[in-house]
Amino acid sequence: MGNQSYAYAMGRIRAVERTMLGRAQFDRMIEAKTADDALRVLSEAGYGAGGDTGGSGGLVGASGSVGAPGSSGSPDVASDYERLLDEENGKLIAFILEVSPARGLLGVFLRRYDYHNIKALLKAEFSGLAGDPPLSGMGLVSPEKLALILRERSFSQLTPAMAAGAEDAILAYGKSQDPQAIDVRLDHAMYAEMLADAAALENPFLVRLVRIYIDLANITAFLRMRAMKKGSDFLRETLIPGGEVDRGLFYRHFSDGLETFIAAMLYTPYGQVCEEGLKNYQSTGRLTAFERGADDYVNGYIKAARLRPVGAEVIVCYFVARQAELKNVRIVMVGKKNGISGDVIRERLRETYV
């Protein structure tokens, strides 16, 4: 698709990028006395102003009415921030679908929600839970339809990759009785489909972004398998093909000390992420610093592309950045609601796009 077809989308997105939150707004939220005060800062920054933002369109209170935090129309917004963020994400998706000339562009990302829902439905079924678990409505297949497809095992209504992944997950769980087998099989199918979708769009930037997601998922899996003392055979089943880092690197260093693995990763694009994040993991036993570094690596990748004059990259960068912003808002709100210190919240916060 020619760059000219993206000119309209670029104009709309460049305009709404100015409404994105910067570090100063997040600092004000962190320094606010209460969670409600933090959301008031968010509202004052334009999050609840409505208009052509591609996201914010009003802070919605527990009663479903619209108003600023603390107003009569929104008695307890802080207690309902998860629903608010879901609504904001939905508005973002609707905005991208409206401005994007490539209908399949957003599908690369939205498939994640479908796979998440399949995982949740299968785990609920096999655990014997009554009724459907909480599901996301952001995917390409409605939660109601997915639930019916899985109950009836009518997988022909899914994409071939998704159908194969669901069937494989069911078989793997039947053999192992391990819910983690569901995650492994469906993650493989999800990333393979994302990579195929990106390749079909013939956009190298998007293809590499998916490969980055795969690499970071593999690094995380490697660390968790070690912590859980899983065997190398399970690691081989878990690691996802398609990334830029050869899976053989993970196999070779699975039984080595973590320092050896970190040294090997220095020769990959993720050297700094691993050196900083995994050394923190060694001292704390927590992946918080690595996960933040991984998100910042993705943010750096899209920031480097945002200055391209026109093209699909403009849409992808804005979508990924806006979702990262919502993640930062969630980090702050979780911290404020749970009385976590401002310093700890700042340590968890990701780099901002603007």
pLDDT per residue rounded down to tens, the chain (354 residues)? 455 578 888 889 989 988 898 898 899 999 999 888 888 887 777 665 555 555 544 443 333 333 444 443 444 555 567 777 887 888 899 999 999 888 789 999 999 999 999 999 999 999 988 777 889 999 999 999 999 999 999 999 999 999 999 999 999 999 999 999 999 999 999 999 999 999 999 999 999 999 999 999 999 999 999 998 888 899 999 999 999 999 999 999 999 999 999 999 999 999 999 999 999 999 998 999 999 999 999 999 999 887 776 688 999 999 999 999 999 999 999 999 999 999 999 999 999 987
* Domain count for the chain: 1
Contact predicate 99/8, CB 8 Å: yes
Boundaries of domain holding 126: 106-200
Residue 19 in domain: no
Residue 259 in domain: no
Q: Provide the whole-model pTM.
A: 0.88
Residue 163 in domain: yes
Residue 180 in domain: yes
Residue 128 in domain: yes
Contact predicate 316/209, CB 8 Å: yes
Residue 244 in domain: no
Residue 144 in domain: yes
Contact predicate 276/287, CB 8 Å: no
Rounded to whole angstroms, the Cα distance separating 262 from 279 reads: 8
Residue 84 in domain: no
